[in-house]
A = this chain, B = another copy of it.
Amino acid sequence: MTRIELYDATLRDGMGGGGMSLTADEKVRLVRRLDDLGVDIIEAGFPASNPKEAQLFALLEHEELSHATIAAFGMTRRRGAAAADDAGLRVLAGCFAPICTIVGKTSLHHVEKVVRVSREENLAMIAESVAFLAAQGKRVIFDAEHVFDGLREDRDYTIACLRSAASAGAERLVLCDTNGPSLPSHVARAVAGVRAALPGVPIGIHCHDDSGCAVANTLMAVEAGATQVQGTINGIGERTGNANLITIIANLQLKMGHRVVSHEQLRLLTDTAHFTDELLNRQPEPHQPYVGKNAFAHKAGLHAAGIRADATTFEHVDPALVGNHRDLLISELSGKGTVTEKAERAGLELDDATTARVLERMKALEHDGYQFEAADGSFELLLRKESGDYQRLFALESWRVTAEQHADGEVRTEATIKIWVDGERFVSYAEGNGPVHALDAALRAVLTEAHPHLAETWLTNFKVRILDETKGSDASIRVLIDATDGVDTWGSIGVSTNLIAASWVALVDSLEYAEQPSRVRGAAAP
């Protein structure tokens, strides 16, 4: 069986969805996770469409990935120019990425009505662009835009477009269902048809979910002989989204017998999906296949009894294979191994009773809306509190924050905190750019003397989201704070119906994590 190649388009096509945006640093963090997962090719974007993309490529050039190859994305040359003179192609040729993916028109309707070039010129644009990049030593992937429409409208012309890309040296022809109009059997027929017309040329598939069939279309393409699948994590993307690479990986490996990643990597599927949502400040979809919180949640009654009798009776796959868990057993089994592993990583040894207490505490906190995936700092503090290896920075008497705006438009924020440190009472006042900054400044004013290392740490990110949108002002609010000391980065979390109270909890965790003895003494944990 030919190995199926995984091509991730989250960083480029995935960002087309409304409200999606990641910093260059966040994109690098995602690239590392995709590499860990075993993705073969990661499309990072066009290397110079704006300063942020340029910065991303500068960062990626120095990343050491264990498996994945970075692809730069661009398009065929402009009409009437030489490929070597095309500004976009020159940027691609000059960037470090070994793979260049270029998109070109393959539907005659688009060529004549939208781009308005002659059919011959479009063929030349494809061939010359591919040939130019190939001559610069790039591996070239050709994304055939609107190819399914093209095959319906004027099959011969579309095949000619694909042939010119292949002849010019493209190593993959990717059939793009650009507007997502196709149904599974259309896709299967189209892929088989292209393979028959261009035998021996590896075919890829790139689907969108406008018909609700993006995953199925991708799988049908693989059955028809496609050997590269393109998609985005959690199916994010413009309109209805792209094909969900998470679901595709699970189906290929668990249902179709393809070995696209290792067993260990497959178990990263749930974490990778949730990590990506956290990075994008999105609510993970509880009903997402394989990795959703409800994907293996079983109601009580006949089903639950059936599960206990024989799990294979009521579960299509073992949730552990994809790093997810059955919801029935969450308190008994799930997490124990993870907790032990996390504790070991923090240099803590937990006995069974402590592990059980941690799990109980986690369960209670998760019920309140806490979630520790993106809050490793808070989770380590939880472990330390239960294991006794925890150093409290202070005891709180009270805090107060006031923000006000006057007629002159200026906004002033101040915080007053009253805390006890080693039996001594401190009252501290600070102004700030906002409530979190003011509270942070007031705390540091007291704490930095005893904890000089704090002066070398700072908050880098702050994210807020409502947990249950239907509850209006009674809804819980989750605040995530990232902080760093320039070497290590850690996340902390606070949940409350009150935005400022949730921020306070996350802020205190963030500072306390920085000052735990084991961290300050030695090197930062990896």
Name A residues whose Cβ lies closer than 8 Å to a Cβ of B: 16-19, 21, 23, 25, 109-110, 113-114, 179-181, 183-185, 209-213, 215-217, 219-220, 223, 238-241, 244, 247, 250-251, 255-256, 281-283, 286-290, 292, 294-299, 306, 309-310, 313-317, 329, 371, 373-374, 396-407, 411, 413, 432-437, 440, 458-466, 468-470, 472-474, 477, 480, 482, 496-501, 504
Q: Which residues of B contact A290 (CB under 8 A)?
A: 210, 212
Number of copies of this chain that the complex holds = 2
CB pair B470–A462 under 8 Å, yes or no, is no
Q: Which residue of B lies closest to A251 (CB)?
A: B211
**Residue among A240, A281, A402, A465 with the most chain B CB within 10 A?**
A240
- With contacts A18-B329, A407-B397, A463-B466 taken as known, whether A413 is within 8 angstroms of B498 at the C-beta atoms is yes
Q: Which residue of B lies closest to A417 (CB)?
A: B405
Q: Which residues of B contact A463 (CB under 8 A)?
A: 281, 464-466
Q: Which residues of B contact A459 (CB under 8 A)?
A: 472-473
Q: Contacting A220 at CB < 8 Å: which of B184, B397, B402, B497?
A: B184
CB pair A18–B316 under 8 Å, yes or no, is no
CB pair A287–B400 under 8 Å, yes or no, is no
Nearest CB on B from A17, distance (A): 7
Q: Which residues of B contact A404 (CB under 8 A)?
A: 398-401
Bound complex: CA A373 to CA B238 (Å): 12
Q: Which residue of B lies closest to A188 (CB)?
A: B185
Q: Which residues of B contact A316 (CB under 8 A)?
A: 179-181, 210-211
Nearest CB on B from A140, distance (A): 22
CB pair B255–A183 under 8 Å, yes or no, is yes
CB pair A396–B405 under 8 Å, yes or no, is yes
Nearest CB on B from A246, distance (A): 9
CB pair A407–B402 under 8 Å, yes or no, is no
Q: Which residues of B contact A109 (CB under 8 A)?
A: 313
Q: Which residue of B lies closest to A496 (CB)?
A: B411
CB pair A460–B472 under 8 Å, yes or no, is yes
Bound complex: CA A504 to CA B403 (Å): 11
- With contacts A25-B469, A295-B240 taken as known, whether A255 is within 8 angstroms of B499 at the C-beta atoms is no
Q: Contacting A462 at CB < 8 Å: which of B210, B256, B465?
A: B465
- With contacts A179-B315, A185-B223, A289-B211 taken as known, whether A473 is within 8 angstroms of B432 at the C-beta atoms is yes
Bound complex: CA A288 to CA B214 (Å): 12
Q: Which residues of B contact A458 (CB under 8 A)?
A: 472
Q: List 12 A-B contacts (CB under 8 A).
A: A21-B371, A113-B310, A179-B314, A179-B315, A179-B316, A399-B405, A401-B401, A402-B402, A403-B435, A413-B500, A459-B473, A462-B477
- With contacts A498-B434, A500-B413 taken as known, whether A251 is within 8 angstroms of B461 at the C-beta atoms is no
- With contacts A413-B500, A462-B465 taken as known, whether A398 is within 8 angstroms of B407 at the C-beta atoms is yes
Q: A23-B468, A184-B184, A211-B215 are in contact. List 7 more A-B contacts (CB 8 A).
A: A179-B315, A183-B251, A240-B294, A281-B465, A403-B501, A437-B473, A460-B469
Nearest 7 CB-CB pairings of A with B: A216-B216, A181-B316, A464-B464, A400-B404, A212-B247, A403-B500, A212-B289
Q: Which residues of B contact A282 (CB under 8 A)?
A: 470
Q: Which residues of B contact A462 (CB under 8 A)?
A: 464-466, 477, 499
Q: Which residues of B contact A466 (CB under 8 A)?
A: 461-463
Bound complex: CA A206 to CA B468 (Å): 31
- With contacts A294-B240, A499-B436 taken as known, whether A181 is within 8 angstroms of B255 at the C-beta atoms is yes
Nearest CB on B from A282, distance (A): 8
Nearest CB on B from A50, distance (A): 9
Q: Which residue of B lies closest to A216 (CB)?
A: B216
CB pair B211–A213 under 8 Å, yes or no, is no
CB pair A256–B317 under 8 Å, yes or no, is no
Nearest CB on B from A12, distance (A): 13
Q: Which residues of B contact A499 (CB under 8 A)?
A: 434-436, 462, 499
Q: Contacting A215 at CB < 8 Å: which of B16, B21, B212?
A: B212
Bound complex: CA A309 to CA B498 (Å): 49
Q: Which residues of B contact A461 (CB under 8 A)?
A: 465-466, 469
Q: Which residues of B contact A496 (CB under 8 A)?
A: 411, 434
CB pair A114–B310 under 8 Å, yes or no, is yes
Q: Which residues of B contact A498 (CB under 8 A)?
A: 403, 411, 413, 433-434
Bound complex: CA A183 to CA B374 (Å): 30
Nearest CB on B from A333, distance (A): 10
Nearest CB on B from A329, distance (A): 6
Q: Which residues of B contact A315 (CB under 8 A)?
A: 179
Q: Which residues of B contact A256 (CB under 8 A)?
A: 183
Q: Which residue of B lies closest to A436 (CB)?
A: B499
Bound complex: CA A330 to CA B213 (Å): 27
CB pair B219–A184 under 8 Å, yes or no, is yes
Q: Contacting A396 at CB < 8 Å: which of B223, B374, B407?
A: B407
